[in-house]
Structure 1
């Protein structure tokens, strides 16, 4: 089943104070760490919610300021139009994406990582359900995950999240 990797990078990084995707973690840009991890596990890759040189980029759907679900929705529609069966989503600010993420998330239906709900596996059949959820004002990823009975997956150690400059190693 062809798998599309989707890097969610449309946030405004208010707590961070600058472009998180370009922040460096152990010398590497966060967006490049996410891209490397997904490229090794997925059949294709998109960046959602921003223009980023060197990547296939798609705008959030139905528009900006929808939160992570706007990027996931865009990726689901892109995947459906390009013959992918599922989307594996990650945020651009998670530097320790496991090399076996796709395998660990595999199973029936949708799945999210308990400590990082933006990391998820989404069957393309959910595109219409997500369209409707967003049209009705839904914005919370946990609410959508509950609506579609997403499985919870745990990782040990847990996935990191870079929210502030002090979260980066010196």
Structure 2
């Protein structure tokens, strides 16, 4: 495996795949998500970004996680239903995983090694932390949870990995 896009993941529907297959080999915004968080309304902006940029080879990938105050307690079916009915989510979602600690998914073991804009690497701080990954699997930016998905700095990072 030569880059993050080749990392195995399982979809919310239980299908084994890779990030490359989920994204069609293009750029991605990987986000750990939760349905019962104060930041859950970010789903709307994530879906808008996915719609806006998908024709340029960009995909948002949601990764549910229940490690932060139990804010994603649902089953795969409940998570999918909530995201679709409440926010019209069409972007791919993985199975629920751990993002921190000894049980962290291998993808997040790598993502958390990447520093944010302040130079801080390490554990995911909370739900809705974001990583921009280019089409060759390189992480170009990490944004902490309170940074809105459509913030200028997130858009600039996305634009930097997309064809003109």
Q: Output the TM-score relative to the length of structure 1.
A: 0.30
Structure with higher strand content: 1
